[in-house]
Amino acid sequence: MYLCILIRLFTFKHITMDSSYTFLKAAIELADENISQQGGGPFGAVVVKEGKIVARAVNTVTTGNDPTAHAEVNAIRTACRTLQTFDLSGCEIYCSCEPCPMCLAAIYWARIEKIYYAGTRFDAQQAGFDDSFIYEELEKPVPERKIPICQQLGDEGAKPLRRWATTDDKTHY
Amino acid sequence: MYLCILIRLFTFKHITMDSSYTFLKAAIELADENISQQGGGPFGAVVVKEGKIVARAVNTVTTGNDPTAHAEVNAIRTACRTLQTFDLSGCEIYCSCEPCPMCLAAIYWARIEKIYYAGTRFDAQQAGFDDSFIYEELEKPVPERKIPICQQLGDEGAKPLRRWATTDDKTHY
């Protein structure tokens, strides 16, 4: 029995690592192709559900005039269109590079359950991207940040949220 | 001369605060309308350039099956389409509620220069939204976070970024 458990554990680990390498390599290949095709930044991502890729995407910030069109965000949007849902529970995301704070939070909102990535925010920084800088900014107290943030009309701003809380006919997310 | 400076300071402050109230109220109104129209979450945002609104948007997460379609992200996408750029330097954003980490980082990527908001992440939390939870998650060390994050193939992942750094024919962002 112990041998059986050992074999199952080894096989499971082997298959899992094998699959995660395959999906991560697919994301890295997308990133590389995006440079050749001048499609945008050198980033790729795939979303996987039950062992199958449900979305592949690259960064299209500059070609699509959309600063939010990172590979991960594009992959999430594509996966949601394909699966016709705003909830990617049961999915994993494979990213050629560590997700920036925007993409990481988008992954949380999408309810994705596991993140794999290859390159780091520091590799991205060396290539001229702001990922690492934005992580640092979010860690700073608000008054020390580069972009000034000003709160006004707090009572009025809370009203729609209070109204939402007491509204029955709504879709939660 | 001192009187003149005082008058200018007062007038400038008066106009600025007046304008910011007007734009912020427009964002709050959008949030409120979005509840009535069952358009998605109770959030609105406007992007302003040189004193004029260039984009108005609401949250469309549930109606558009897009977990990234927060009001701020939608407003950034709309402003970029209108102005045909991925760089919103010179713009301000007015949000009915404090931007979540996804939207805050999106604002950084878009190069928006000032953020105004009304309701807080805690108001959002009381209405059932995860903004505050996601802020807390991003502050935690990676192994303590709810969503597991796994790095693999670091060398392979860094390659597209190194290739990008030495590529001449590219558009920076």
- Tell me the DSSP string of B75-132: HHHHHHHHHT-S--TTEEEEEEEPPPHHHHHHHHHTT--EEEEEE-HHHHHHTT-SHH
B5 CB-contact burial (10 Å; exposed 0-12 / middle 13-18 / buried 19+) = exposed
Q: Give backbone dihedrals phi and psi of B145, rounded to 5 degrees, phi first.
A: -80, 160
Q: Tell me the residue type at A173.
A: Y
Q: Chain B contacts of A116, Cβ < 8 Å?
A: 149-152
Query: What is the DSSP pairing of strand B91-97 with strand B44-49?
Result: antiparallel
Active site residue B92: no
User: Which is the catalytic residue, given B29, B50, B72, B144?
Assistant: B72
Can you give the pTM of this predicted structure?
0.90
CB-based burial, A73-99: b 16+ in 10 Å, e otherwise: bbbbbbbbeebebbbbeebbbbbbbbb
| Residues β-bridged to residue A52 | A49
Q: Tokens for B89?
A: 């330097």
pLDDT in tens for each of the 173 residues of chain A? 454 444 444 444 444 667 899 999 999 999 999 999 999 999 999 999 999 999 999 999 999 999 999 999 999 999 999 999 999 999 999 999 999 999 999 999 999 999 999 999 999 999 999 999 999 999 999 999 999 999 999 999 999 999 999 998 899 88
pLDDT of amino acid A169: 85
**B131-166 pLDDT, tens digit each:** 999 999 999 999 999 999 999 999 999 999 999 999
> What pLDDT is recorded for position A42?
97
| CB contact at 8 A, A163 and B35 | yes
Q: Tokens representing A83? A: 């699966």
Mean predicted confidence (pLDDT) in B8-33: 77
For A35, A151, A160, the CA distances from B30, given in Å and listed in that order, are 39, 18, 9
What's the whole-number mean pLDDT along residues B76-93? 98
Residue B134 has its nearest CB partner, among A105, A137, A161, at A105
Supply the pLDDT for residue A152: 96
Number of A/B CB contacts below 8 angstroms equals 298
Adjacent-strand bridge partners of B85: none
3-state secondary structure of B52: strand
Kindly list the residues from chain A whose CB atom is less than 8 angstroms away from the CB atom of residue B172. Answer: 128
**Alpha-carbon distance A1 to nearest alpha carbon in chain B (angstroms):** 31
Residue of A33, A50, A72, A137 with catalytic role: A72
Tell me which residue in A110, A118, A128 faces B67 most closely, judged by beta carbons: A110
Give the span between the Cα atoms of B121 and A102, in whole angstroms: 16
Residue-level pLDDT at A172: 87
Cβ A49 vs Cβ A90: under 8 Å: yes
Q: Would the pLDDT of B128 be above 80?
A: yes
